Structures are given as structure tokens and as C-alpha cells.
A and B are shown apart, each in its own frame.
Chain A
Amino acid sequence: MHTPENLFYSKEHEWVRVEGNKGYIGISDFAQHQLGDIVFVELPELDLEINLGESIGVIESVKAAATLFSPVPGTIIEVNEDLEEAPELLNQDPYHNWIAVLDLSDSSRLEGLMSAEAYNAYCQTLES
């Protein structure tokens, strides 16, 4: 499993990449693999204020729908509209294809997230 070092990870298998005030959010390789072929992504609305753990969208595979929970609080300032036409991008390259960008109101909340190393260890406990 591929897990970039420069990201923070949640137990729900989302990642966050911080650039200044911006937090890019996506799903991990583990998540896309568990979901299987992704055929639909419901993106959040712009300017929506999100609390920690609130829904910021839905990802649907052939078999099922999975809610995407925000690993950080903030305001939605960008969404990746490419995913509406090509949801399979999340299967092909989950770390390049972010889903939404949040304006991070409180970056200290990142403390609840895991490093790549801790996340890999966490995934191993799920697989065993």
C-alpha cells in the first residue's frame, strides 16, 4: 500500500494536505481499494461551513454508497469538479485527486490525525 509521507490521515481513511490556510482533502489508497470501482462522487457545496466529522460528500461504488466525513473543520472553498465526470480518478490516483479544499479555521485540530507511519500501522490492524 502506497502512503505519502507529507499527508495527515484519519481513521475513516481520509487524508489532508496542508498548504498555508488551505486543507486539501481526499481518500486513501486503502479506502479506494475497499470501495472498489468508484462510479459517482457527490461533492459538497462551496462556502459550506463544516464541523469536524461532518459529511462533505458521498462516494459511490458499483455496490454501495459511502459518506465522506471531514477530518478537519473549515469552510469549503474549492471542489474537484473533474470527479463528477471521471469518478474513477479516485481509484487511479487517490493521492493526486483531492475531493475538496477547506479554509482551515483551526489548524491545531490536525493534531487528532495520524502520520503516514501511524496510519499504515492502523491499516495493518484492520487487515489482520
Chain B
Amino acid sequence: MSLKQTPLYPMHLKYHGKMIEFEGWELPVQYEGMGIIKEHQMVRENAGLFDVSHMGEILITGEKAEAFVQKLICNDVKIMQDGQVLYSPMCYPNGGVVDDLLVYRYNLQKYLLVVNAANVDKDLAWMKENLLEGVKAENVSPEYAQLALQGPKAQDILQTLTDTDLNSLKFFWFNPAVKIAGVECLVSRTGYTGEDGFEIYVQPAEAVFIWEELMRTGGEQLCPVGLGARDSLRFEAKLPLYGQELDQDITPLETGLGFFVKLNTDDFIGKAALVQQKEAGLTRKLVEFSMLGKGIPRSHYEVQKNGVAIGQVTSGMHSPTFKKSIGLALIKIEHSEPGTEIEIIIRDKAVKAMVGTGIFYGKKTKSK
């Protein structure tokens, strides 16, 4: 199967992206002359521009659109207003996670769901299986290119190109008709880096133009950022990644997303299982840890306590900001107290680590 290319593929060639395969897409892991660490630092200190067109968009329309979205997700849809964005896991009946997604509410009859690239087909099949009468779920991904502009300088850069006052666009809100350099875009104050910033949805034919306008305006304060730094930035900010912190065998409660699970709402798929899990008490929990010994923890490495397996690493990395190796692990709850010594199995060797708290990056997003 040949790899899919995003509408911004010509930009990856122009800016010398090192192209790799990612979930069926040909995307840059990093750019020549920069690299993951420099790109990461640019986003923390200035701004970075990401091609995230591989993300999936599913449009939900119809009289009962609100009820249908509520049936799908753990978070409370009814607290939303038009123009608001909501993050939520979407569960199976057993509480395992189908996907995590962003819900954009246009109005009570129209929602746009933004899902992970790898899960578009699975999510759409799941939605159609559970569809309510009079509601339509369609994959509109090909109608959108998506750019993420992230970092402390993101607002200044974007403001130069639009008359819309960006101060009025609050964290987790969107405006479906922002003119950027004259082109109508959907802009939300959202992101996956722990920094302030925007996600920009635009018709594919205009994507290159918008990218180049942003690059020209950003000048030395902006650089293209590849998938490598996208992962290191989201990891440092402790933002979950489907397939690592979340999957069909992990519930949102176990992985520390209880805040996004509203058990006092109308029924949603998985609610009964999550209520039961909460009442019975969790048996495992997602924890932060720092390495005490030498080595880098990686996803799926085993975690032990005194030689006995107690769970696994979900994500781990040498943090570009803190310049040390840290990780997230899903482990048995009796070992989850901060200060507990655990062992990470790195290439058959047990390396000491310590459960901690507050060791990740404090998000700089503009609070609600």
C-alpha cells in the first residue's frame, strides 16, 4: 500500500523534512538542520508549526446529535456551548478506550469530532454501529488540512495575519470563520504541546498558502516541527497518547483521566463498567517516575518491584527540557505512592527508578 501524503507534503520537501511512515502517512519526523531537541526548544521558547493533517475529522449532524455524542463519550456534552471544544475519551462497554478525541460544538445539531489518525476507520465503524436514528456520522477528513501553531509566540504570529481579536478566543474555544491572510479557517485555541497555541483547519487547497504565510510572518521565531518533537512535547506535558497511555485494555480512570469522566451525566457507553470500577477501587494507576540508574525508559518496558512484575512503562524519554530520563508507567496501585522505588527492565537489566509527582512540565496553556 502506498503512503498517503498530506496537502502540506510539498512544504516538508521544501523545508527538508526527514520523511517517515506514520500510520499510513508519509510525514516528517524532524527537519534537516534542526532535529528533535532544537524543534522542541523552539516550541517551548518561541513557536513551532506542525502539519497535523493526518488527524481524522468526523462530522456528526442531525436532530439528536447531542444525545448521540453523549452516548459515545465519557465527558459531559451538555455543559458545552456553541463554539466550545471538549476533550474526552470514548469507551467500549467494558470501559476500555476506543479513542480519545476533541469535540467541537457548532450547535446542538452539528458537532465535529477530531480523532487520531490511526483510529479513523475504527472510530467511524464504532459510531455507525451505535448510531441513533436521524443522526449522520461522516468521515470528512479529506475536506481538512490541519496545522498546529504552538508556543508562547503563537498568538503574536497569528494575530499579524488576522483581524479577529485572538484575545477573545479562550482556551478550548473555536471560531469557525477566522480569516487568515484572507482565507477562511476554523481556529481553536487547543494543542498537544503544553504551550499556548492554536489548531487551524483549512481546506486542503489553501494549506500551503497558510503554512507559508505563517512561516513568513514568524520569521526567526517560528520553525517547522516534526513528529519527533510532537511526541516529546506532548510527553513532557503529560498529555496521553492513544496506544501508550490509552488503549482498549486501559480505562480512563486507571490512566489518570478521571477528570474527563463524568459519571453523573446521562448514560454513555462504558459508564456502568466505570461506575463499577470506581466503586470497587482501582487496582492499577498511571504514575510519574524518574530514573535513578542509567538508562532510558521506553514504551512497553516492564516495571518490577523487588523482581516481581507490577506493570509497564506507557511512555518514557530523555526529556529535552529537564535533560534527564523520566517516564509514565501503569502499575499496581499498591506501589504508586510517590517515593516508592521501582525497577525498569531495560534490555534484561533492572534499573532503579522512583515514583514521583510534579516531575513533568507545567502546562503554559491559557486557563479557562
Q: Is the CB of A40 within 8 A of B296?
A: yes
Residue of B nearest to A61 (CB): B36
Nearest Cβ on chain B to A81's Cβ, whole angstroms: 12
Which of B18, B228, B295 touches A42 (beta carbons < 8 Å)? Answer: B295
Expressed in whole angstroms, the Cα–Cα distance for A51 and B53 within the complex equals 48
Which of B228, B294, B295 touches A63 (beta carbons < 8 Å)? Answer: B228
Q: Is the CB of B298 within 8 A of A62?
A: no
A58 within 8 A of B: yes
Q: Is the CB of A36 within 8 A of B296?
A: no
Q: Which chain B residues border A58 with CB–CB below 8 Å?
A: 347
Residue of B nearest to A58 (CB): B347
Task: Decide yes or no: A36 and B295 within 8 Å by CB, A60-B318, A62-B37, A63-B36 being known contacts.
Answer: no
Expressed in whole angstroms, the Cα–Cα distance for A36 and B17 within the complex equals 13
Task: Decide yes or no: A63 and B318 within 8 Å by CB, A37-B37, A40-B295 being known contacts.
Answer: no
Residue of A nearest to B32 (CB): A33
A65 within 8 A of B: yes
**Cβ < 8 Å to B, chain A residues 54-74:** 58, 60-63, 65
Expressed in whole angstroms, the Cα–Cα distance for A63 and B325 within the complex equals 13
Task: Decide yes or no: A60 and B296 within 8 Å by CB, A36-B36, A40-B318 being known contacts.
Answer: yes
B150 within 8 A of A: no
Residue of B nearest to A40 (CB): B296
Give the number of residues in A that approach B within 8 Å (Cβ atoms): 12
Q: Which chain A residues border B296 with CB–CB below 8 Å?
A: 39-40, 60, 65
Nearest Cβ on chain A to B350's Cβ, whole angstroms: 15
Task: Decide yes or no: A42 and B294 within 8 Å by CB, A62-B317, A63-B29, A63-B228 being known contacts.
Answer: yes
Q: Which chain A residues border B318 with CB–CB below 8 Å?
A: 39-40, 60, 62
Q: Which chain B residues border A40 with CB–CB below 8 Å?
A: 294-296, 318, 325
Q: Which chain B residues border A39 with CB–CB below 8 Å?
A: 37, 296, 318
Expressed in whole angstroms, the Cα–Cα distance for A37 and B232 within the complex equals 12
Q: Is the CB of B232 within 8 A of A62?
A: yes
Nearest Cβ on chain B to A90's Cβ, whole angstroms: 13
**Cβ < 8 Å to B, chain A residues 82-128:** 84
Q: Mark B19-37, 1 if CB is under 8 A from A, else 0.
A: 0000000000110000111
Q: Which chain A residues border B228 with CB–CB below 8 Å?
A: 36, 62-63
Expressed in whole angstroms, the Cα–Cα distance for A7 and B295 within the complex equals 30
Residue of A nearest to B318 (CB): A39
Which of A60, A62, A65 touches B36 (beta carbons < 8 Å)? Answer: A62
Q: Which chain A residues border B29 with CB–CB below 8 Å?
A: 36, 63
Q: Mark B42-63, 1 if CB is under 8 A from A, else 0.
A: 0000000000000000000000
Expressed in whole angstroms, the Cα–Cα distance for A58 and B351 within the complex equals 15
Expressed in whole angstroms, the Cα–Cα distance for A62 and B18 within the complex equals 15
Expressed in whole angstroms, the Cα–Cα distance for A60 and B347 within the complex equals 12
Nearest Cβ on chain B to A119's Cβ, whole angstroms: 21
Q: Is the CB of A65 within 8 A of B298?
A: yes
Q: Which chain A residues border B36 with CB–CB below 8 Å?
A: 36-37, 61-63
Task: Decide yes or no: A36 and B347 within 8 Å by CB, A62-B232, A63-B228 being known contacts.
Answer: no
B83 within 8 A of A: no
Expressed in whole angstroms, the Cα–Cα distance for A60 and B294 within the complex equals 12
Q: Which chain A residues border B37 with CB–CB below 8 Å?
A: 37, 39, 62
Q: Which chain B residues border A61 with CB–CB below 8 Å?
A: 36
Q: Which chain A residues border B325 with CB–CB below 8 Å?
A: 40
B258 within 8 A of A: no
Residue of B nearest to A64 (CB): B298
**Cβ < 8 Å to A, chain B residues 315-344:** 317-318, 320, 325
- Chain B residues within CB distance 8 Å of chain A: 18, 29-30, 35-37, 228, 231-232, 294-296, 298, 317-318, 320, 325, 347
The 5 lowest CB-CB distance pairs between A and B, nearest first, are: A39-B318, A62-B36, A37-B37, A37-B35, A60-B296
Residue pairs across A and B with Cβ atoms less than 8 A apart, 23 shown, are A36-B30, A36-B35, A36-B36, A37-B36, A37-B37, A39-B37, A39-B296, A40-B294, A40-B295, A40-B296, A40-B318, A40-B325, A58-B347, A60-B318, A61-B36, A62-B36, A62-B232, A62-B318, A62-B320, A63-B29, A63-B228, A63-B231, A65-B298
